Structure 1
Amino acid sequence: MSTLTSKNDHDKLKISYRATDGTVHLYNVDKFDSCSSMAVYKVPSAYSIAIDGSCSSQGGQIFTNIYEWDSSFGNWCLRREVTGEKPYLNSGEVASKEYVARVEGCFAPGDLRPPRYTPSTQSRKAVISQLRYFRTIIKDEAAIKEFIRLFPFYSVAELVPYIDVNTVQEINDIAFYLSKYDRSYEAIPLLEHIVREFPERFVAKLNLADAYWTNGFESKAIPLYVAYEAKMNSLGLTKNIPSRVKNRQAAKEN
């Protein structure tokens, strides 16, 4: 069984990884910046690790490196750089602003060489391929559940730049299933972008309102519930409005 341990030593994060064959790999990672709180952890449901040097404060910088084990190199190799900033909750922001860059080759933890980034055209092809696969399983609930289980947290930010008329349906569905399987907070950036860029997709407003409400942002949910209810009434679909839409508006008023 493999083991991963780490400790902070002054301005370095020292990592020890013992592979299943007993081989021990040692890494020294410089602190990313002055406010970083360095940590390493396994990414849930994925054979990858994250080295996280993000600042913990509101509005703090995000800097997380994602590494995957590559047997051809016999090492952990950098595969994603996640950057951005955390929300200022008192300003009404809810989700972090995150950007994901793909990395080629093998840059091990602590490697100080500049990474070699994947061209944007290639990254787009990879995302489109993922969405095409998702489309093929849309009627298979078990396959969708497994897709969401294996969907790493950084893939949400990776999808946002590719939301357009050709991808909005699949990405909206991914957001819906993230919420369905207890990851509604992660769905918020996708739904916010969809509601902003495709305001006619009023069901997305309902999904975003639900995600806000579930995560304690009731005041942001209410205007969306109101807009959704008004649209459904205008279409003569009043009977199709879920009861929670009215119940939550009334609960907020009280």
Structure 2
Amino acid sequence: MIKLKRGWKRYNIIIGFIVINCYSQTSFILKENLDFDKSIDTLKYSVAGGTLKGQIITSDKHVFFELDNDPDLGTQIILTPGEITLFTGGNIAGAAERESVYSYDQSSKNWVYSRHFEINHNNDNGSKSPEIEFSYREGESATIDGKKVHYVPVRPMKSDLGDLVLTAKKGSYDGRRIIEYIFTYPVNKKNVEGYNNLAYFLKGDDLALYILESIIKEVPDRVVTYLNLADSYYEMGNEAKAKENYSKYIKLMKKEKKDLGRIPKYVYARII
């Protein structure tokens, strides 16, 4: 059995005909047999001596694999339809979270190492901007059973930013999908408004800080970004960074000769 402790907001796990919504900070025990997608494959697995051993049954062959699953290192296997994620570091204070994602590839009928995430939240309460690394495994990539195949990852569509904003507004966003989008389509002057809206609805998540600071690096004179950044820091309990950015916001409002009456009253109260 495997304990599933953490994910980015939500995962849908299919066991038979039952869909279990697994939310972050919640723990579930998965049974021996997990049906990923009846039209593609079935994954069977067991855990022994800290190693996940299993076989993937497709229409034409079996694929056998082994993955380390070491609780002492905070390593967990996250199983979702079409993906197997090796998650490391979430149980160690101050450690970076690393996710190696294997995606099912129709052409090779195998699970291929497709993406890698590394997120360092910098402190326990997440009130600082995280350090994030992301990369695609493109071209020759390793499969879950150790073979090598040519793989072209499926990237998000450029138009997906609007969908990300809507899901964030509803509070059902997937942080990994947002990170993948940011690294595929970096912040620029054309998409800055969409990213600003996304960060607004991510308040309370340090991913909002990452997006807003990325906007400032690209468009340093965008006044409203400093207000949103200050609000985000304040909501996450970092009052020092909040005051710093409220002050920058007021200074830019004066410099740009904007209507000072539009400055929210709470801003002045929070910089005292």
- Kindly tell me: are residues 73 and 6 of structure 1, through their superposed partners in 2, closer, same or farther at Cα, counting changes over 3 Å? same
The amino acid that maps onto 2:179 is V
Aligned to 2:66: 28
Residue 198 (structure 1) aligns with: 219
Cα shift readout 1:79-127 (whole Å, capped 9, x = no counterpart):
101235441469x972332211111366443x44689797xxx99xx67
The structure-2 alpha-carbon separation of the partners of 1:117 and 1:17, relative to structure 1 and needing over 3 Å to count, comes to closer
Equivalent residue, structure 1, for 2:116: 81
Stretches of structure 2 that go unaligned for 5 or more consecutive residues are 1-15, 17-34, 37-42
Match of 1:243 in 2: 265
1:54 paired with 2:89, answer yes
- Output the CA distance in 1 between the equivalents of 2:185 and 2:200: 20
Q: How does 1:217-236 map to 2 (within 5 A)?
A: 217-234=238-255, 235-236=257-258
Amino acid across the alignment from 2:268? K
Q: Do structure 1's residue 170 and structure 2's residue 207 form an aligned pair? A: no
> CA shift at 1:203, angstroms?
1.6
Number of aligned residue pairs:
228
1:52 Cα offset (Å): 0.4
| Helix, strand or coil at the partner of 1:81 | strand
Please give the secondary structure, in 1, of the residue aligned with 2:230: helix
For 1:168 and 1:81, locate their aligned partners in 2 and report how far apart those are by CA, in whole Å: 27
Letter of the structure 1 residue corresponding to residue 259 of structure 2:
L
> Which residue of 2 is the match for residue 12 of structure 1?
51
Q: Distance in 2 between matches of 1:196 and 1:203?
A: 14
- Are the counterparts in 2 of residues 99 and 158 from structure 1 also a CA contact under 8 Å? no
Deviations 1:8-58 (A, max 9, x none): 643423467789x9x9976421358x9631112256xx8534210226434
* Richer in helix (by share): 1
Residue identity (%): 19
Q: Out of 52-61 and 186-195, give the one that drifted further.
A: 52-61
SS in 2 for 1:153: helix
Residue 62 of structure 1: CA displacement? 3.4
Indicate conservation of the 8 Å contact 1:63/1:83, yes or no: yes
- Higher RCO by CA contacts (8 Å cutoff, separation 6 or greater): 2
Deviation at 1:228, TM superposition (A): 0.5
Shift of 1:207: 1.8
The answer to whether the 8 A contact 1:68-1:79 is kept is yes
Q: C-alpha displacement at 1:236, in angstroms?
A: 3.4
Is the contact made by 1:157 and 1:189 (CA closer than 8 Å) also made in structure 2?
A: no
Q: Which moved more, 1:81-90 or 1:100-109?
A: 81-90
Q: Residue in 2 aligned with 1:71?
A: 106
Paired residue type of 1:190: I
Given the alignment, which residue of 70, 85, 96 partners 2:130? 96
Tell me the alpha carbon deviations over residues 130-186 of structure 1, each in whole angstroms, 9 at most, x when there is no partner. 44x257x5xxxx78415986655254266259646xx24415522432431567422
Take 1:170 and 1:190, find their aligned partners in 2: how far apart are those partners? 12
Structure 1: 5+ residue stretches without partners: none
Deviation of 1:78 (Å): 2.0
Instruction: Please give the secondary structure, in 2, of the residue aligned with 1:199.
Output: coil
